[in-house]
Structure 1
Amino acid sequence: MARKPKSEPLRFVVKKFGNSTLFRWPSPGPWFSSLRRFHQRCAMRSAFGLWLSALGILPSPAAEADASSTNGLPQPVPGWRMELLLTAPQLRHPSVVCTAPDGRIFVAEDPMDISLPRASLPEGRILCLHPEGRVTVFAEKLFAVFGMQYLEGKLYVLHNPRFSVFIDADTHGTNRTELLEQTNPEPWALNWNDHVPSNFRLGMGGFFYVAVGDKGLFGAVDRNGKRVDLHGGGVVRIRPDGTGLEVFCHGVRNILDVAITTEDELFTYDNTDEHEWMGRLTHMVDGGFYGYPFDFIPRRPYTLWMLADYGPGAATGALAYTDDALPSEFHDNLFLADFGQRNIRRVILERANGTFREVRNELLFPDPPPDFRPVGIHETADGR
């Protein structure tokens, strides 16, 4: 088996009001591989706002701080670095990000919820950022894209009410096939694509696990003709061929992503209702019921409970680090993106009987700027 590159950055999308950026967030520390040290030495900005690697001398921490301050980049905690890959006008209104094994990055745009007159318009698109810096339009005329995963030469795209798959033709997608014709008859209710089926991850059993907000599923029929309805938020799963659709667990509010560990344990980061249900990290189990909206005040004995409460915010992306490019202490750590708190939170867990407990957590940006708004997070396998 070919060995993976020994440096694996995390990618995440930051959404700004009226502006947008795509960052590469390299792995911690400068000593894990010469490939990453070379890549991180310095960066220069192109005419389109794309940051590219350039040969140079690794700047001192003070020089790095000065440069980042000048460029307006958020400053991570020591041991982590940031690189700007794409910004407006090339990228506007990003919603979710994923990567391919060859180093390409896919990022979706959702102008319908920001700058267009109706949230129901199929005016979304997916941009493909190639390793050499070229940007192509992979797919367009989509509904609001909130879920993407790349698997075996195909890009799977959840753009409610459709769940589609494209064959990868490098610069663009071809042979679009619908896995689900409808997740919800009106996902843009109240003229807003929110609280909808969102991002999904592949589990070791061959299912995609899909985060679903509390608009739920109604009239979703898989390719074998099986209908599934979900009242409220939860997790559903479906095979990549569009069969096997079923509810995995339910009773949450507005989750946008699913983090899956090396042991196939699922975790979600839920959005606050501004009252008693705050930003919750939860261990999701098969058949679990978590109490939202009617059975969590007071907590009922027949509901499952959260692992941690991180207060008010706007939970977006969730990632479990499952590779071996980072030191062992990062194995199966969770990285949680929060649009409202303007931060990425690293969470370290340990087993506690049949579930888990938080050992500790840390925010990776001590003083984020007001327009730093992460909406998605994904690791890459290109070693840069």
Structure 2
Amino acid sequence: MNTLSILPFFRRLAGTCRLASALLAGALTLPAAADALPLEKIALPPGFTIELLARVPNARQMALSPQGVLYVGSMRAGKVHALPLDRDYRPGKLRVVADDLKLPVGVAWRDGSLYVSAVDRILRLDGIDARLDDPPAPAVVRDDLPKETHHGWKFIAFGPDGWLYVPVGAPCNICEPDPERYATILRMRPDGSQLQTFARGVRNTVGFDWHPASGALWFTDNGRDWLGDDRPPDELNHAPKPGLHFGYPYCHGDAIADPEFGRKRACDEFTPPAQNLGPHVAALGMRFYTGSQFPAQYRNQVFIAEHGSWNRGRKIGYRVSVVTLAGDRAVSYAPFASGWLQDESAWGRPADVLVLPDGSLLVSDDQAGAIYRIRYAGERKASGIPQ
């Protein structure tokens, strides 16, 4: 065979190998159509639409700067991403602004700086909006929080009092840890000083917000495992003042005494949930809806990202739910957006929710690596391909 005649074949073969290697290495981005998600499966109330805003790997808590940059924490990825949004909330280039961190789930914005949780540390990226392509090294706000990674990831947020609220989960499924160090919600000044315990008996909260009218703290809490498929419930709790105890590890839900520790304390000693949520739904991020785009009945109500069960016989959660309040009392709990779970198979897991200034609602999904945008627009539509 003529050697020259087979050279084109080997060139094509080499090109194919390079393309395959690039795809395997993640060097090339697949076309949007190949990246589509089945958002047509998401059930919403009449008049609402859902679309894919952007792909963000392992997306967890979200925070929006006044300049319109969306910051997104992660868990397994160890990164914090920044996604600039234009005036119409169309996404720009996704950037990594912090990397190689331990479970940097939580992000919070304050006075030009982004605060990031990383298990035992609270970090701060100063002036980050103007330095997305050249992010500063994180400054350490505090580095003496517990190092345990079991429930060690942290949703963080600034309260209306100007303090940074930071939870410390129980380092176990069920145990009796140091009540001043674990199963707490702490708060500190923005510079990390004056660390205080705000609430106790909180097994693992990964979402909280303050009521727009009363200013009181509300938070989700994940119930313990291995008491059966249908108990205990996850919880939505109301903490109008500091110093309250919410029952862990002695009592769960309204009055379920723990089989291991319940004999030590009576359930009526503790603050009961404002609302029992589904058992093992893994209630994570929550926010009050403060926009005006949605119908009036959603104003100042609680939207909750339910990440979904991992050890229940029949899966539950994998949705966004809404709790309706009357004053400081919960009066209903119902699914708002569902469909990430199909026939016991989940293609996505909601992790956080965030209200945009135009009143639309963002939902992060760490499994699908996505951020969705829900709008009230009349006719029901869905699009899984970024525009």
1:103, 1:382 within 8 Å by CA — same for their partners in 2?
no
Equivalent residue number for residue 222 of structure 1: none
Displacement of 1:338 in angstroms is 0.6
Equivalent residue number for residue 339 of structure 1: 307
- Does 2:277 correspond to 1:310? yes
Equivalent residue number for residue 376 of structure 1: 352
- Does 2:245 correspond to 1:293? no
Higher mean C-alpha displacement, 150-159 vs 94-103: 94-103
Higher mean C-alpha displacement, 322-331 vs 288-297: 322-331
2:340, 2:349 within 8 Å by CA — same for their partners in 1?
no
SS at match of 2:105: strand
Matched positions, count: 289
- Does 2:77 correspond to 1:101? no
Report the aligned-residue RMSD: 2.9
Alpha-carbon distance change, 382 to 174 in structure 1, aligned in 2, over 3 angstroms: farther
Alpha-carbon distance change, 199 to 171 in structure 1, aligned in 2, over 3 angstroms: same
Displacement of 1:334 in angstroms is 0.7
SS at match of 1:111: coil
Flag structure 2 segments of 5+ consecutive residues without an equivalent.
1-28, 86-90, 173-177, 258-265, 309-316, 361-387
- Does 2:210 correspond to 1:257? no
SS at match of 1:336: strand
Displacement of 1:213 in angstroms is 1.5
- Does 2:244 correspond to 1:283? no
- Does 2:141 correspond to 1:187? no
Flag structure 1 segments of 5+ consecutive residues without an equivalent.
1-44, 52-66, 113-123, 189-193, 217-227
CA deviation string 1:329-383 (max 9, x = no partner): 33321111111101111111123xxxx3212222112444322210112222367
Equivalent residue number for residue 167 of structure 2: 211
Alpha-carbon distance change, 376 to 331 in structure 1, aligned in 2, over 3 angstroms: same
Displacement of 1:248 in angstroms is 0.2
Partner Cα separation in structure 2 for residue 358 and residue 50 of structure 1: 42
- Does 2:224 correspond to 1:270? no
Larger radius of gyration: 2
Displacement of 1:93 in angstroms is 2.4
Partner Cα separation in structure 1 for residue 37 and residue 303 of structure 2: 23
- Does 2:128 correspond to 1:128? no
CA deviation string 1:58-110 (max 9, x = no partner): xxxxxxxxx985x65523222222111223xxx33223222222222112233
Partner Cα separation in structure 1 for residue 300 and residue 122 of structure 2: 28
Higher helix share: 2
Equivalent residue number for residue 63 of structure 1: none
2:41, 2:339 within 8 Å by CA — same for their partners in 1?
no
Higher mean C-alpha displacement, 103-112 vs 147-156: 103-112
2:107, 2:114 within 8 Å by CA — same for their partners in 1?
yes
Normalising to structure 1: TM-score of the pair? 0.68
SS at match of 1:329: helix
- Does 2:53 correspond to 1:85? yes
Equivalent residue number for residue 359 of structure 1: 331
1:261, 1:332 within 8 Å by CA — same for their partners in 2?
yes
2:302, 2:323 within 8 Å by CA — same for their partners in 1?
yes
Alpha-carbon distance change, 49 to 147 in structure 1, aligned in 2, over 3 angstroms: farther
2:290, 2:359 within 8 Å by CA — same for their partners in 1?
no
